[in-house]
Amino acid sequence: MSIRLVLAEDSFIVRRGLTAVIDATPGVELAGSCGDLDSLLRQVEAVKPDVVLTDIRMPPTNTDEGIRAAASLRRTQPYVGVVVLSQHLDAQYVLSFFRDGTAGRAYLLKENVYDPDQLLAAVHAVVTGGSMIDPQVTGALVQGRLRMEASPLAGLTRRELEALSCMAQGLDNKAIADAFSLSVRGVERHINSIFSKLGLREAQDVHRRVKAVLLYLAERD
């Protein structure tokens, strides 16, 4: 029995290309196609597919419709597997997509999905309750994690990071104290701890403050 699939992609040219790939994929039947979030949810309700293959960005907002569709289907039709396609490698999209669990979910880059073998592997994975993530995405997430662990900011506490963020916005110790309902002395302790952990022990206080902010901004960039 064929696996029934609904395709959601707003670009007509890309949708035609994906349709050709699906038609050439053994054991997979295209049960419907559409180009926006509302149409996708209606088609899933109407044709009851086994799998949805969807772009992340579609009308009406062209932001994260594919991820929102996956979250909605997790609640309303949990038996439907979802394979999302991304044009760009964005860690936040990946984390949002898998926030409610990995079962029945696959994340592929568009540049690689035109390989019928990879598409078929992803479809079979989500149909059987498994998951799949594009190797390029996995590699980028691992590298991002390694960079984060190697960051000089990695040893800061949440409160220290918040204080450093305020410093980057130009707030003085009194303003930071007011923002977090702390005493000025308490803020000074946090800031001295930041200086110590970042190895900024010897310079004058104003220079240490500037260097700490520069490190923070460099990491954020």
> Amino acid identity, residue 51?
V
116, 209: one domain? no
Confidence of residue 194 (pLDDT cuts 50, 70, 90): confident
89, 197: one domain? no
138, 82: one domain? yes
Count up the domains in the chain and report the number.
2
30, 114: one domain? yes
133, 175: one domain? no
pLDDT of residue 167: 83
Residue where a domain stops, chosen among 144, 166, 201: 144
Q: What percent of the chain has pLDDT over 70?
A: 87
Domain range enclosing 195: 152-220
Average pLDDT over residues 48-55: 97
192, 138: one domain? no
Average pLDDT over residues 84-113: 84
Alpha-carbon dihedral sign for residues 196, 198, 202, 205: negative
DSSP assignment of 58-102:
-TTTTSSHHHHHHHHHHHH-TTSEEEEEESS--HHHHHHHTTT-S
53, 124: one domain? yes
CATH of the domain at 201: 1.10.10.10
Q: Using the predicted structure, report yes or no on whether residue 91 has a pLDDT greater than 80.
A: no
Higher pLDDT, 212 or 15: 15
Residue where a domain stops, chosen among 144, 177, 195: 144
Which range has the worst mean pLDDT, 12-26, 48-62, 169-183? 169-183
Average pLDDT of the chain is 85
pLDDT of residue 43: 96
**Using CA atoms, how far apart are residues 169 and 186, in angstroms rounded to an integer?**
19
108, 162: one domain? no
Residues 6 or more apart whose Cβ sits within 8 Å of residue 195:
201, 208, 212
Alpha-carbon dihedral sign for residues 64, 65, 71, 74: negative
Higher pLDDT, 167 or 6: 6
The answer to whether 131 touches 108, Cβ cutoff 8 Å, is no
14, 118: one domain? yes
90, 192: one domain? no
Strands across the sheet containing 3-8: 28-34, 3-8, 51-55, 81-86, 105-109, 131-133
pLDDT of residue 59: 95
pTM of the model: 0.66
pLDDT of residue 19: 94
What is the H or E stretch that residue 25 is in? none
157, 95: one domain? no
44, 97: one domain? yes
pLDDT of residue 6: 98
Residue where a domain stops, chosen among 95, 120, 144: 144
176, exposed or middle or buried, with CB in 10 Å at 0-12, 13-18, 19+?
buried
CATH of the domain at 73: 3.40.50.2300
Q: Using the predicted structure, report yes or no on whether residue 5 has a pLDDT greater than 80.
A: yes
Q: Using the predicted structure, report yes or no on whether residue 146 has a pLDDT greater than 50.
A: no
Q: Which residues pair with residue 51 across a beta bridge?
A: 5, 81
Residues 6 or more apart whose Cβ sits within 8 Å of residue 181:
none
